Amino acid sequence: MEEGDTKGFHSLLTLKLVGSDVAVPPAGYDRVGMLVAHGHSSAEAVSNLDAQRSRLTLEISQKPK
């Protein structure tokens, strides 16, 4: 995640390492990570999550055959 505003940020958990396989349906449903935000209301938490998500960069590419 880039440096910047951390308003509402709670945690970022990475579940995959760079170069790991990520299974997609129908073969599987892997998660690469989880981002958690908080707020004083559910609407504020959603807004904070959206703001934090916009700061993430994630690139997934298909393996060469």
For the segment 13-61, what is each residue's pLDDT rounded down to a tens digit?
999 998 899 998 999 999 999 999 999 999 999 999 999 999 888 888 8
Task: Judge whether 20 and 41 are in contact, CB under 8 Å.
Answer: no
pLDDT value for 4: 62
59 assigned to some structural domain: no
pLDDT value for 1: 52
4 assigned to some structural domain: no
Task: Judge whether 31 and 13 are in contact, CB under 8 Å.
Answer: no
What is the reported pTM? Answer: 0.72
**In whole angstroms, what is the distance from residue 55 CA to residue 28 CA?**
27
The number of folded domains in the chain is 1
Helix (H, G, I), strand (E, B) or coil at 1: coil
38 assigned to some structural domain: yes
- CA angle centred on 32, ends 29 and 36, rounded to 5°: 110
43 assigned to some structural domain: yes
3 assigned to some structural domain: no
* Residue 63 CB-half CA count within 13 A: 8
Q: Which domain covers residue 29, as residue numbers? A: 9-53
Question: Which is higher by pLDDT, 63 or 53?
Answer: 53
65 assigned to some structural domain: no
